[in-house]
């Protein structure tokens, strides 16, 4: 069945289009920005090619925003926040968020397909983390907003010689600059938009260069299916990463929320310091999975051996360091190799494939370079370690297992963001905890044991913002997500994520 998105002229899938896209044998995404309530082309009609990572084919184009486009988007957001009643009209915000959720679900099929095409995300994930789960989160934030008390009474106290009644009020920060990555664009775009809008802010969302269509599709739903006032949400796509930098340095932007690499996060903090801008960062990870000697070994090893192949290992909280007791090390390595070798990968449209391509030639080259340097340092991959010969095209890389390097080796220490698992032996429980915490990162971790109390005890010692205990899954819109150390500042999702976008004002009056 062919699904058509109205609102544009759709042409043959091998040609350019000015709007709309058709799903079927031929379809296209859109090259549009959302600025001040209008779906527009980038200044001068500028575009850049959008490449399917599974085929290396140019499948269309994204709007290539200019500095002028960014300036207009920021100005629109500033005006909309300062001059409309969006920040104080709770009923409007609740209604608009539900409209956004409903509008996205009405266009679910075409958005799922364009996500598969431009991200390379396997189809099996589009019904949960890739689309449906994040969309349901919009409704969760709408419901939270509907019942949230923005004020708190602190009672009367004698303050500086007089009786005063004190209370606090929470209110929107103002203009939010949201800078998002390419690995899970819909999930992260909505994880930022949902709470930021619920809290009453205006937003300029800057999508990743590699995934412009996911951002433009969201912009279209906002413009055509919601009552969100013009300027409250502005969506920018660009081939240039420094369009995000312009949000960071602009004094009209009150808060930056960023998901991406730790290196870029450091740069954002530095630039944001010029205007003492609040920065809310979800950064990199090199998460450790401790499998203790009394654990269900198959389950513990599989947690890393399967997760590292989900979407090609392109996830910040992926359990990429597998820590095994020395007494069972060889057994665990062999089991991990068997699991990784058995997992199907390839065409993301094939519902049986767990892993598709990496997002770009640049990312594949980065992963390949790290593996090659590991080989030069003495590593001998147990499996993988090269581009798969069966694929003539596409940015694929083999599932790769490395088990013979120390914990300070680059590929063990640094985030790879590819299908590469490193395995290390530990001597005892204390050594395992030490190794897990021996990282600049602290986004996620896991522990497996045959004794649940022991697992919880070890989990309490791990310096990480999220921990899987014996396979328990934590990620959902209602639970905070974020990291310790250089994995970020603040929390996304849950009530805590909502309150990241609020300021606290303390007031007092004579009693």
Catalytic residues: 282, 316
Segment holding 424, helix H or strand E:
strand 420-426
| Angle, CA of 79, 84 and 85, to the nearest 5° | 145
Q: To the nearest 10°, the Cα dihedral for 257, 263, 266, 271?
A: -80
- Residue 140, SS3? helix
DSSP conformation class of 173: -
Are 418 and 398 contacting, i.e. CB atoms less than 8 angstroms apart? no
What is the sign of the dihedral through the CA atoms of 378, 382, 388 and 394? Answer: negative
What is the sign of the dihedral through the CA atoms of 355, 356, 358 and 359? Answer: negative
Backbone angles phi, psi at 330, to 5 degrees: -60, -40
Q: What region, left, alpha or beta, does residue 470 occupy, with left being phi > 0 and alpha being psi -120 to 50 degrees?
A: left
d(CA 22, CA 30): 11
Q: What is the DSSP string of 456-507?
A: HHHHTT---SEEEETT----STTS-B--EETTEES-BSHHHHHHTTEEEEEE
Segment holding 394, helix H or strand E:
none
d(CA 301, CA 289): 8
- Residue whose pair of structure tokens reads 């990480």 in the numeric block: 464
Q: Which residues pair with 155 in a beta bridge?
A: 166
Could you tell me which residues come within 8 angstroms of residue 486 by beta carbon, excluding any fewer than 6 positions away?
262, 265, 266, 283, 284, 440, 441, 442
Closest CA to 499 of 64, 169, 182, 235: 169
Backbone angles phi, psi at 57, to 5 degrees: -90, 145
Closest CA to 262 of 396, 141, 391, 443: 443
d(CA 322, CA 340): 13
Are 20 and 4 contacting, i.e. CB atoms less than 8 angstroms apart? yes
> How many other CB atoms are there within 10 angstroms of residue 220's CB atom?
25
């Amino acid at each position: 069945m062919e699904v058509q998105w109205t609102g544009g002229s759709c042409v043959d899938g091998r040609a350019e289009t000015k709007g709309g896209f058709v799903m079927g044998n031929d379809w296209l995404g859109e090259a549009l920005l959302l600025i001040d309530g209008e779906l527009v082309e980038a200044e001068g009609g500028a575009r850049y090619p959008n490449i399917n990572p599974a085929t290396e084919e140019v499948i269309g184009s994204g709007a290539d925003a200019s500095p002028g486009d960014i300036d207009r988007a920021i100005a629109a957001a500033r005006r909309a926040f300062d001059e409309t009643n969006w920040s104080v009209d709770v009923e409007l915000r609740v209604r608009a968020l539900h409209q956004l959720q409903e509008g996205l679900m009405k266009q679910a099929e075409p958005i799922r397909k364009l996500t598969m095409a431009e991200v390379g995300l396997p189809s099996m994930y589009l019904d949960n983390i890739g689309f449906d789960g994040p969309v349901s989160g919009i409704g969760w934030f709408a419901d939270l907003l509907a019942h949230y008390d923005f004020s708190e009474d602190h009672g009367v106290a004698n303050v500086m010689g007089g009786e005063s009644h004190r209370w606090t009020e929470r209110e929107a920060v103002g203009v939010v600059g949201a800078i998002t990555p390419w690995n899970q664009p819909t999930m992260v775009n909505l994880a930022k938009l949902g709470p930021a809008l619920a809290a009453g802010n205006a937003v300029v969302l800057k999508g990743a260069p590699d995934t412009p269509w996911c951002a433009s599709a969201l912009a279209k739903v906002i413009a055509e299916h919601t009552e969100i006032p013009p300027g409250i949400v502005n969506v920018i796509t660009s081939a240039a990463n420094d369009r995000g930098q312009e949000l960071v340095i602009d004094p009209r932007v009150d808060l930056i929320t960023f998901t991406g690499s730790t290196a870029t996060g450091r740069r954002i903090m530095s630039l944001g310091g010029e205007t003492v801008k609040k920065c809310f960062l979800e950064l990199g990870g090199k998460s450790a999975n401790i499998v203790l000697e009394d654990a269900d070994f198959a389950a513990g090893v599989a947690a890393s051996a399967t997760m590292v192949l989900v979407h090609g290992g392109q996830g910040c909280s992926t359990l990429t360091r597998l820590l095994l007791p020395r007494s069972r090390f060889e057994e665990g390595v062999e089991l991990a190799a068997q699991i990784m070798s058995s997992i199907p990968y390839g065409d993301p449209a094939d519902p049986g494939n767990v892993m598709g391509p990496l997002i770009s030639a640049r990312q594949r080259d980065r992963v390949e370079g790290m593996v090659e340097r590991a080989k030069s340092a003495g590593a001998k991959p147990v499996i993988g370690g090269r581009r798969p010969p069966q694929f003539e095209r596409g940015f694929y890389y083999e599932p790769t297992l490395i088990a013979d390097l120390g914990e300070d080796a680059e590929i063990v220490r640094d985030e790879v963001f590819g299908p590469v698992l490193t395995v290390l032996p530990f001597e005892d429980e204390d050594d395992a905890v030490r190794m897990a915490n021996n990282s600049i990162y602290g986004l996620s971790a896991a522990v497996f044991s045959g004794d649940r109390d022991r697992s919880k005890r070890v989990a309490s010692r791990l310096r990480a913002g999220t921990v899987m205990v014996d396979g328990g899954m934590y990620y959902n819109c209602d639970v905070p997500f974020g990291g310790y150390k250089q994995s970020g500042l603040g929390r996304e999702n849950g009530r805590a994520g909502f309150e990241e976008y609020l300021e606290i004002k303390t007031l007092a009056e004579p009693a």
